[in-house]
Amino acid sequence: MKMLLPSTQCNRAGTDKSCLLLCTGKANEALLRNNEAKADFEKAIVFSPKYTDAYVRLGAVCNKLGQYKEALVYLNHATGIDKRNKTAYPEKVTTLLELEKYDQALKSSDTALILIKMTEDLLPAGTHLFKTE
């Protein structure tokens, strides 16, 4: 069965294979095929070992599968590669809360808020990262 891939651009300089695998993984994740998505993200890392987006998506999928310890390993790896990765920290908060590591979750939450604030400060006036009511 052929699957349509989302029209998501790869937002990193890397191999075409790793970008394709990330898109395929995101499509599988959207279709709730989390085990297939996990395999796609793992393959993307084989082609690009420092691909933080793949590590973050792996962490998210592991959270969905209830594999919180494994999710934390992937998310820690992502933040080890890129300490300013604003997508990793909110996912990491979810993981740490599930593992009942509340102090670490609070620290990750603080980091996420700081990174979001830093990003918003760089945007033109009146632009927001999140939809406001």
Question: Which top CATH class is 16-122?
Answer: mainly alpha
Reading the block at residue 50, the tokens are 């420092």
CA 61, 131, 121, 112 dihedral sign is negative
Asked if 57 and 77 touch (Cβ cutoff 8 Å), the reply is: no
CA-nearest of 12, 64, 97, 66 to 89 is 97
pLDDT at 122: 57
The pLDDT profile of the chain, 133 residues, written as one tens digit per residue, is 444 444 445 555 456 899 999 999 999 999 999 999 999 999 999 999 999 999 999 999 999 999 999 999 999 999 999 988 888 988 999 998 998 998 988 888 888 888 777 766 655 655 555 554 4
What pLDDT was estimated at residue 25?
96
- Report residue 65: phi and psi, to 5°: -90, 0
Task: Please report the pLDDT score of residue 98 as a whole number.
Answer: 92
The domain limits of the chain are: 16-122
